[in-house]
Every structure is written in C-alpha cells, then in structure tokens.
Amino acid sequence: MKDIYILGIESSCDDTSAAVLRNGVLLSNVTASQDVHRAYGGVVPELASRAHQQNVVPVVDQALKRAGIVKEQLSAIAFTRGPGLMGSLLVGVSFAKGLAMSLNIPLVDVNHLQGHVMAHFIKESDNDNSAPPFPFLCLLVSGGNSQIVKVNAYNDMQVLGQTIDDAAGEAIDKCSKVMGLGYPGGPIIDRLARNGHPHAYSFAEPHIQGLDYSFSGLKTSFLYNLRKWVAEEPDFIENHKEDLAASLEFTIVDILMKKLKLAVKQTKIKHVAVAGGVSANNGLRNAFHECAERYGWTIYIPRFSYTTDNAAMIGITGYYKYLDNDLCTVDKPAFSKVTFQ
C-alpha cells in the first residue's frame, strides 16, 4: 500500500506552522511564533498577516526537510480554513491552494477548533495508541475559545456549552495586562501562581444556566478589586503578585471544572480530554489529575507542543478527512466565525 503523506498548514492567529504526517504518524512539526505583538500587549491582525507572509515559505520548507521528503511525494495539503483572524487565515489558505494546484494534489480544509480536539490523535509512532475512545468529552480552552465538546467521531462534534462572552485565555491575558505583567499573560500567571496562595483573594464567579461559561464578570471584579487595593497600598501588585496570580488561576480553573463535572454527570461519559492553549496551564492540568483520582475519570492531556496552535493537529484532521475523501474545492473561502461546522 502506498504511503499517504499529508502537509498541514496552520495560520489562524499569530503562529505560522507546518507539519508533515505519514499514514497519520507525525514526521515534523515546525512553528514560527511572532514576537512583534509583545510590545502592543496583544495580537495586531495586520502585523500578524505580514509576519505570516514572511514565515510561510521557510516554515513549509523546513517541515518537508525535517520529514525527509520532497514536495512531490505529498498526497494532499490540509489547511486551517477558519475560524481565526481573516488576514492571518488568508495567507495560509492562499499558500495551500497555490501549492496544491501546482502539485496537482487534493486540498483538505480543516476547522481550527476541530483541529485542537484532534490533537489527541496525533501519533508519534506506528504503535502509539494513546488516543481517547469515542465518545469522549473535551474541554477546549484557549485565548479565543472556551467550550465543552462531546466528540462522537472525528467529524461529529457537539458543543454542549460555550462562553457567552470572553474566553478563559483572554481573561487571563487581560488580567495579566492590568497587573502590568506583560503579554502573553498565560505563562506569566502560571509561573507566578506556583508560588502563591490560591485562596488569598476571591473574585466574582458567574452563575450561568446549563453548561455555558462567562468570564467578563470575573475580569471586571478583578479590575475593580485591584484598583481598590492599589489605592490603599501603591505597591500592592508587586508585593502580592504571586497570591493574585494563584487566586486568579484558581477562580478560572474552578469555573471551568464545575461545568465540566456537570457535563460528565449529565452525559455519564468518563473519558475526558482537555485541549487548546490554556490546557498548558499547570493549575488546570492538576485539576484534571484530581478529578481522575476522585471521580474515576480517564483523562487525556496533550503534550505541551500540541496545546498551542500547531500544524500537526491540522495534519491529523486532514489525514482522516482525506481517507474519507472529504476534500475541498479551490473556491472555498476562509471564514472567521466561531463554529465547529
């Protein structure tokens, strides 16, 4: 049987990434991150798309070289069609279309959110059987998304609950910015929280019906409390940043896990995965391990390199779609709306 080589391309936000998979096994995964946004305290869409234009060719070239193949061996090209920043998506989408047409091979469009969930199916060797069985629940948490997803099959995902305003990762970044700690806030808050007291301060937790989330109230509560404390003690943030970070992290993890526990109770599915950029957070990972011990969950936590935006997850999703002959025509446009369709 002929080997199936898939090139995955990801450019939905501020990471340009390319990966090569052979029969679903990862051969290379190359990512170029963009430091240009750090000075602005967040992703600047126009700067992101320009950086993608500079990065996409060398990143794809490196991915092919590290995989030890030439582009003519590729069976298909999988690319992120959305959701994401339109200017960023267009670079990856246009490059994928052009390369596929020049090689006369099929295109496979991949939903970015589906890709995050499918990161659990990336194989690092032929006998890698660490993927969760269907159906399973997946908590998808990142800078742009917070959702509880019931995964019935690689192409059948049902959103049970999602944020009605801000994402968990965005709340962490904004609170870090308010504290003057810099961007991106996730790794900074994570590092500080390891040395802080999680119950030092309490912040507002929303009471939303069902399995939906809300994080805008938490951000407001954090801001107003911080203003009050700084007015009383000008060096408050510097003197208490570990405790502030730990308390913020505890509150966000508590909000996420309460709804996830409810989802497990309602669906009676005890195979539970986590995905997305926030799944790199140690507080959230620890909470998953606690639930595994206390409630008998079987948990699936991705490697750190598969938590953030990467092309390996796009490649593996593309591989399964390619096997099902679920291909994409060259006229399909990029899309920015948050959807699993």
Q: What is the pTM of this model?
A: 0.93
- What's the pLDDT score for residue 45? 83
Q: Which residue shows structure tokens 């446009």? A: 333
Q: Which residues of 215-252 are buried (b: 16+ CB within 10 A; e: fewer)?
A: bebbbebbeebbeebeeeeeebbeebbbbbbbbbbbbb
Return d(Cα 179, Cα 194) in angstroms, integer: 17
- Mean pLDDT over each residue of the chain, to the nearest integer: 94
Q: Note the CATH number of domain 136-303.
A: 3.30.420.40
β-sheet bridge partners, residue 26: 21
CA distances from 116 to 46, 54, 262, 313, 316 (A): 24, 25, 22, 6, 10
Strands 146-153 and 156-162: antiparallel
DSSP string, 293-310: HHH--EEE---GGGTSS-
Q: Where are the domains of the chain?
A: 5-129+306-323, 136-303
**Between these two residues, 220 and 1, which has the higher pLDDT value?**
220
What pLDDT is stored for residue 261 in this prediction? 97
Q: Top-level CATH class of 5-129+306-323? A: alpha beta
Residues 179 and 244: beta-carbon distance below 8 Å: yes
pLDDT (tens digit per residue) in 210-228: 999 999 999 999 999 999 9
Q: What is the pLDDT of residue 251?
A: 96
Summarised one tens digit per residue, pLDDT across range 57-88 is 999 999 999 999 999 999 999 999 999 999 99
Q: Report the C-alpha gap between 193 and 251 in whole angstroms.
A: 12
